[in-house]
C-alpha cells in the first residue's frame, strides 16, 4: 500500500521492518523521525495538471481470474 499511496516512505518502512524483532535506539529514532515527517506532509497531495478531474476505478472484488 505504501508504494501506491506513499512511495516516499516505502523504502524507510521496508528497512525498519527488518529490525522488528530487536529494534535498537537508532531504529526508534528513525521511527520518530518518520512520524515527524509524516505529520509534516499530511496535507500534501499529488496533483496532475491544473484542471480538477474525478477519479473512477474498478476492481475485481473477489480476485477471481476466471472469465464466465
For residues 34 and 15, is the Cβ–Cβ distance under 8 A?
A: no
Summary mean pLDDT of the chain: 82
Chain position carrying cell 500534501: 44
For residues 31 and 15, is the Cβ–Cβ distance under 8 A?
A: no
C-alpha cell at 5: 499511496
- For the full predicted model, state whether its pTM sits above 0.95: no
The alpha helices in 1-68, defined as continuous H runs, are: 2-5, 10-16, 25-40
Among 34, 36, 47, which Cα is nearest to 8's?
A: 34
pLDDT category of residue 48 using cuts at 50, 70 and 90: confident
| Tens-digit pLDDT profile for residues 11-25 | 889 899 999 999 999
pLDDT at position 2, please?
55
pLDDT at position 57, please?
81
| Tens-digit pLDDT profile for residues 23-41 | 999 999 999 999 999 899 8
Amino acid at each position: 500500500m505504501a508504494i501506491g499511496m506513499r512511495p516516499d516512505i516505502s523504502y524507510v518502512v521496508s528497512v525498519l521492518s527488518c529490525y522488528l524483532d530487536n529494534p535498537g535506539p537508532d531504529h526508534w529514532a528513525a521511527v520518530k523521525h518518520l512520524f515527524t515527517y509524516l505529520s509534516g506532509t499530511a496535507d500534501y497531495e499529488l496533483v496532475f495538471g491544473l484542471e480538477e478531474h474525478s477519479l473512477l476505478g474498478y476492481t475485481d472484488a473477489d480476485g477471481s481470474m476466471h472469465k464466465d
